[in-house]
A and B are shown apart, each in its own frame.
Chain A
Amino acid sequence: MDQILNILTHSLDPELSIRIRNRVDLMKNTIRYMQDRDNEKIIYILSNNWTINRIHIICCLNSFYQIIVAPLYTSSSETESGLVSRIPIRFGNIINFTNRRANMIQEMYSEFLRIIEELDIDFWWLHANHAEDLIYKIEQYLRNAE
């Protein structure tokens, strides 16, 4: 899991890297707490040939998606009146929301989701806000797949 976290946070602004790592650590701690208390959902997940490391990896991807990918993607749309597509939005001195930026972000977003699907990761796992929500979603997914 650490290797994946290192790959994704390697080039990030330190503040963002710390935010992602802190979020992953919080999720891991919650999962450890649940596991120590023999949480039924975790027991079920692990009985389906999952490992705790695999759950931790989902936490990494979830955190990266929530903190980096999704907020960027939300700014990649445009208006009929031409904002972004014809009229760039200049936010301060260094941030310019342009058509080119929007296209690159949309391509990045699509590729991230394609990889997620290739890895048999459900899209809604990326939207879990807490470890308990993520465990619930994984358990439900596995039960529905039976």
Chain B
Amino acid sequence: MPNRNNWVRRVERLMHSFANQYSSVYSKKEREISASFEIGCFISLVNFYENRRYTVTIENLKNNEFKYLTTPSGNPENFSFVKLEFNNKVFEIRQQIRIKSHLAEDTNFTPDIVVLKRDPELEGIYDTDYYQGRRQMFYVTSDQVIAAHECKSLPPFPELLISFLGMVIAGHDWIKNLNDRSMVTDNGLHLAPTLFVGGSARHLHLRMVESLKNTLPINIIVGMHYHHWDIANSMELTLIDDPY
């Protein structure tokens, strides 16, 4: 067993060298760290569709860049998105689009990533309770949502998993009740509504994840920090047909 003090000195020396060489790479603002995880999930989702032989095109580039919508207050028409085509069916992957829920009036929320029907109606209205009526509030209705996905760079604690279920029921008009797995199929076109979680799970929580996934039309993918982002090939996923 190595001398204790020598080991500590080795750690200090190696970390000092690491910091000297790479601090410019990892010293980011907190906003960029959280954005990094969301971008990773987004890339992983696009890879999923590419692996399933969709034709994937990047649309509405700005200055040859993908302009990523980072807040629901932006006009989606001014931002880039991903178009998916398969067997004459067309869908879109967008980010930070507010969903107007079918559950109740004035019920809106914004998932991180959403897969929508072809040519979705992205509406904008003026509301006196929104920026005092000075800006449009953009949204898409829940009957245009194929799947809303959420990204959390956190450990998968139970309350996180349960709160995601609220998003599922509020954001998908085609899900009439949470036990409705009528759209779930082995050869489904789409990834079911998915919670991407960065942290790994304790065994007890893994059982909860597995149980929810087998009961409801959803995915909960944990351990994204080490899954190498190959969600299409590395595990069993809940897939759904086109609900529309």
* A contacts, CB < 8 Å to B: 3-4, 7-8, 10-13, 15-16, 19, 48-49, 51, 53-54, 57, 66-84, 87-92, 94-97, 104-105, 107-108, 111-112, 115, 118-120, 127-130, 133
Contacts and interface: CB of A to CB of B under 8 A. Distances in A.
A7, A8, A57 — most chain B CB neighbours (10 Å): A7
Which label, helix, strand, loop or mixed, suits the secondary structure of the B interface?
Answer: helix
Contacts of A120: 2
Contacts of B223: 127
A84 B223 CA distance: 23
Contacts of A53: 4, 8
Contacts of B26: 12, 68-69, 72, 105, 108
Interface of B: 1-2, 4, 7-8, 10-12, 14-16, 18-19, 21-37, 39-41, 43-44, 46-47, 50, 56-58, 61-62, 64-68, 70, 82, 153, 155, 198-200, 202, 223-226, 229
Given A75-B36, A87-B64, A119-B14, 18 more contacts: A13-B27, A67-B33, A68-B33, A70-B225, A74-B37, A74-B40, A79-B47, A80-B50, A87-B66, A91-B32, A91-B70, A95-B35, A105-B26, A108-B25, A108-B26, A127-B200, A129-B199, A133-B202
Given A13-B27, A67-B33, A89-B66, A75 B7 contact: no
